[in-house]
Amino acid sequence: MNYVISDIHGCYKEFKALLKKIKFSPADTLFVLGDMVDRGADPIGVLKLMASYPNIYPLAGNHEFIMMSILPKLMQEISEDNIESTITEEFLHKYNLWIEDGGATTVNGFKKLLKEEQEFLLDYLDNMSVYEKIRVNNQNYILVHSLPSDLQNKKNLNYQIEEVLFGRPDFTASWNQEDIYIIGHTPTFKIPGAVPGKIYRRNNLIDIDCGCVTGHALCAYCIDTGEAFYEPVLI
How high is the pLDDT of residue 86? 64
Residues 59 and 147: beta-carbon distance below 8 Å: no
How high is the pLDDT of residue 216? 96
Strand arrangement of the beta sheet that strand 131-136 belongs to: 131-136, 139-144, 180-183, 205-207, 200-202
- For 129, 130, 133, 158, 230, the CA distances from 64, given in Å and listed in that order, are 11, 11, 20, 20, 24
Supply the range of the domain harboring residue 62. Answer: 2-231
How high is the pLDDT of residue 235? 45
Q: Which residues pair with 3 in a beta bridge?
A: 30, 222
The Cα diameter of the chain in Å comes to 59
The span from the CA of 190 to the CA of 140, in Å, is 27
Which of 33, 73, 38 has its CA nearest to residue 57?
Answer: 33
pLDDT < 50 stretches in the chain: 79, 235
Residues 3 and 223: beta-carbon distance below 8 Å: yes
Residues 44 and 106: beta-carbon distance below 8 Å: yes
How high is the pLDDT of residue 132? 97
* DSSP secondary structure code for residue 188 in this structure: G
DSSP 3-state percent helix, strand, coil across the chain (nearest 5) = 35, 20, 45
The span from the CA of 74 to the CA of 78, in Å, is 9
For the stretch 13-52, pLDDT in tens is 999 999 999 999 999 999 999 999 999 999 999 999 999 9
The CATH number of the domain holding residue 51 is 3.60.21.10
SS3 of residue 117 by DSSP: helix
DSSP 213-231: GGTSBEEEEETTT--EEEE
How high is the pLDDT of residue 78? 55
- β-strand pairing of 228-231 with 131-136: unpaired
- To the question of pTM greater than 0.85 for the whole model, the response is yes
> What element of type H or E holds 91?
helix 89-98
What's the total number of domains in the chain? Answer: 1
